[in-house]
Amino acid sequence: MTDPQSLEFGDPITAPFWRGASERRLVIQRCADCGHHQFYPRPFCLACQSDRVEWVQASGRGTVYSLTTVRIQISPDFTPPYRVAIVRLEEGPQLLATIVGPPCAIGDPVRAGWKDRPDAPPLIVFQPVTESG
């Protein structure tokens, strides 16, 4: 088995995200000129077109923007049924990820977690924030 830590995933634009994932840290881009956060990664800021984009650690907190349950086998990596959501991060960007843990609905708070994979950096998942945390 290949050591996931040794893999350089993605292209020069996305590799920092995967390096963060390898350390189970959610990193997103922030514009050094205007402060805009963005995901997925790009070589420039979507708000002001500056190329001074830097990587920062996101809080990992977000809310469910959209949610569905997948009931057919699309990928060998995911066994149906499973939930897929668009999560709006506290910093503003949205990302697509699976939801694990207890039931949740649109608008519910979620927090980032990681699903280990044998030959790749961990995959980000989100789980509902419950009374017990």
Residue appearing with tokens 């897929």 = 84
What minimum distance in Å lies between the beta carbon of 43 and Zn ion? 12
Report the C-alpha gap between 48 and 21 in whole angstroms: 27
What minimum distance in Å lies between the beta carbon of 30 and Zn ion? 9
Binding site for Zn ion (CB under 5 A): 31, 33-34, 36, 45, 47-48, 50
DSSP string, 61-75: EEEEEEEEEE-S---
Residue 30 vs 83, nearer CB to Zn ion: 30
Residue 32 vs 106, nearer CB to Zn ion: 32
Residue 34 vs 96, nearer CB to Zn ion: 34
What minimum distance in Å lies between the beta carbon of 51 and Zn ion? 9
Burial of 7 per CB tally in 10 Å (0-12, 13-18, 19+): middle
